[in-house]
Structure 1
């Protein structure tokens, strides 16, 4: 039944996306990361990662996906990806589903995949209007996990633009929290990127960010006391 519920939500989201020929806006970026103090990796605590991201605003929802390619994960070089279509109930019904800071209510789905596993998440999301935030959303999922017991996950995604003099900065990231079950611990991953737009000094439309990514991961992969706290150097280019 859980997989059926996920597939139903995914079909709804995919149908909504497919009915709109072109995104209202879209963005594609590539990020390079290099850091240390990683937990549960193969040879040493240093790791390089290339991240490919795509996000789009659509008539009936939105879509976000990324793929991480790492050089030193648990079994060597690995690729991990997520694809997250969301269906806007406000857009579908033509009603303004607004209440306080809530701007919209959405059907939220995510497909997580990697080396030998696929997890399917389905639930409800809300877009929030928070002062000084460029965007903020909260998604509550039921996770149909491939290799561990199913659990629940809360995801908070945010972006905060800053301007200091003539310089543009962006603080963005996510907080994932999942419940503990019989075979794994509760897990929390709070990852934030602190970035300066160096690209504007090349041309007004160039978005080349440099900065750091700070990751605080408690009980990584649901393993008790596998705690990670690292800072990685970051370069990110938006096409």
Structure 2
């Protein structure tokens, strides 16, 4: 494990502690996800991914973060984390718009750190737990800067007394001159909650994640179609 990753992880934990001390926390959620897929592009196609995810709501806005640990069948290992705070600048009641926010994201991988900043809007749409749209300026590490548009959603529904969740995101990043064309990452998860069958309070999901990534990593013509088996436990 690199010193950079240890330092970054320490800063993340410090940020969580500081947020809890200096602001009122309304809610929080933590989860672990296991993914297994065999159609990854760029590198070995067979990979397992373990993801720790933490999200919390505060009086100032929301914090979303996750850490991925990827292990390929050829022995290659990689760690990737994102930290995404949203600071609410306007909130609405009895409106189809919930809030406007100033949004930011730090993308931290092995050997690079990208910083994104921009504006976001959250919508109040019947049938959705959340539906958000963010527009970012990307400050890329080692590459020219560009722009990104991100949509994210989550919707719970019931089929014959079974509880389901469909959530995901779409990232569209503009092309970079001299590097590659625009890329589109559509990632969604369809999950069945098994918690009622085991008499546990927190959700325990099993399902499928599907990734369609056009021009992955700005590589022209590299298009990923990647289903993964998924297990996710909230605690």
Contact 1:17 1:59 in 2 (8 A): no
What is the aligned partner in structure 2 of residue 111 from structure 1?
Answer: 106
What is the aligned partner in structure 2 of residue 93 from structure 1?
Answer: none
- Name whichever of 17-26 and 100-109 sits farther off: 17-26
Structure 2 counterpart SS, 1:133: coil
Structure 2 counterpart SS, 1:200: helix
What is the aligned partner in structure 1 of residue 186 from structure 2?
Answer: 190
- Within a 5 Å distance, the mapping from 1:162-173 to structure 2 comes to 162-173=157-168
Give how far 1:165 is off.
Answer: 2.1
Give how far 1:100 is off.
Answer: 5.7
- Within a 5 Å distance, the mapping from 1:57-136 to structure 2 comes to 57-72=57-72, 76-90=76-90, 96-97=91-92, 101-136=96-131
Structure 1 counterpart SS, 2:196: helix
If the length of structure 1 is used for normalisation, what is the TM-score? 0.86
What is the aligned partner in structure 2 of residue 5 from structure 1?
Answer: none
Structure 2 counterpart SS, 1:201: helix
Matched, 1:221 2:223: no
Structure 2 counterpart SS, 1:89: strand
Contact 2:189 2:208 in 1 (8 A): yes
Contact 1:212 1:234 in 2 (8 A): yes
Give how far 1:208 is off.
Answer: 0.6
After superposition, the Cα gap between the structure-2 partners of 1:19 and 1:107, relative to the gap in structure 1 and judged at 3 Å, is farther
Structure 2 counterpart SS, 1:180: coil
Q: 1:159 aligns with which of 154, 157, 161?
A: 154
- Name whichever of 49-58 and 65-74 sits farther off: 65-74
> Quick one: distance in 2 between partners of 1:34 and 1:77?
14
What is the aligned partner in structure 2 of residue 33 from structure 1?
Answer: 35
Q: How many residues align?
A: 219
Give how far 1:149 is off.
Answer: 1.3
> Quick one: distance in 1 between partners of 2:165 and 2:155?
6
> Quick one: distance in 2 between partners of 1:181 and 1:22?
41
Contact 1:135 1:159 in 2 (8 A): yes
After superposition, the Cα gap between the structure-2 partners of 1:112 and 1:73, relative to the gap in structure 1 and judged at 3 Å, is farther
Structure 2 counterpart SS, 1:24: strand
